Amino acid sequence: MKTNVSAPARVDSPSARIRAIIVDDEPAARRGVRLLLERDRSIEVVGEAANGAEAAALILREKPDLAFLDVQMPGSDGFEALRQLAPAEAPTIVFVTAYDEYALRAFEVHAVDYLLKPYDDARFGAALQRAKEEIRRRQTDTVNARLTQLLDYLQAAGGAGSPGAEGPGDRILLKSSGEIFFLKAEEIDWIEAEGDYMKFHVNGRAHLMRETMARLEARLDPKRFIRIHRSTIVNIDRLRKLSPSFAGEYAVILHDGTKLKLSRGYHERISSLLKQSL
């Protein structure tokens, strides 16, 4: 195995270090992997094992994010180590072996890569990068799942934006880009349908929430929001003027200059609003 490099490895923030273990019955092989990993400050090696049984115990104890796992080892091999773990307990796996005949089995257990000895630094670096991307994906999926659970809990408990909340549509609770936002109704400029989602326009920013137009309209305060098109709802306080378009049609102009189409079927709603304000 080559260990010389012509350029330093990319250094990530040490605040989000990936916990890794190395499993191989050959001490020299473990040492080689450790040397390569220690060049990357985003990786923390938290343990080593020499066979499958030790590997399973080490994984259960340390709960690593990543394991470099040999296939053939005395006693029990790498696959046996994985069989002792529940799916949720298994870290991201990179198999490291001198035998190519196990490659298919490796990917059947969802390994992200299969390193054949001897490998060079570039090949190792590619496997490590692939493993990092998988770990980040898992972490993002976990965070999103927790946020979704929190969102469901808050809505089921009569939280913001749910039908049981005090004052219809007082607040809208939505998840966007992995974050949960608690939007006050008065902060929302307008809302449009976009596929299976509703897009909230708030102070120049847009947030998506999976919802139907009909269900959202039922949750919003009709004294504050008005539907002007089958795919558009506006905050009444943001209305600036109605501008003639063509063939008797009108456009709705908001205070920030946004121009929205007023559909024929919703003329009566706007007319009623105007009469109330006169």
Of the candidates 137, 155, 188, which is a domain's last residue?
137
Domain identity same for 25 and 77: yes
User: Which residue, 92, 87, 78, is CA-closest to 132?
Assistant: 92
Determine, yes or no, domain membership for 3: no
The dihedral through the CA atoms of 158, 186, 196, 151 has a sign that is negative
**Same domain (yes/no): 229, 130:** no
214 and 121, same structural domain?
A: no
pLDDT digit string, tens, across residues 71-125: 877 776 777 777 877 777 888 889 888 777 666 665 666 788 888 888 899 999 9
Q: What pTM does this model have?
A: 0.49
Please give the tally of structural domains in the chain.
Answer: 2
Name the residue range of residue 229's domain. Answer: 171-277
188 and 133 share one domain: no
State the pLDDT at residue 63: 92
Same domain for 65 and 125? yes
9 — pLDDT class (breaks 50, 70, 90): very low
Give CA–CA dist 100/113, Å, rounded. 12
| Peptide bond preceding 118 in cis form (omega within 30 of 0) | yes
Cα torsion through 222, 225, 226, 230, rounded to 10? -110
Whether residue 148 lies inside any domain: the answer is: no
Examine residue 80 and state whether it is found in any structural domain, yes or no: yes
* Residue-level length of the chain: 278
Report CA Rg, the chain. 28
Residue 133 covered by a domain: yes
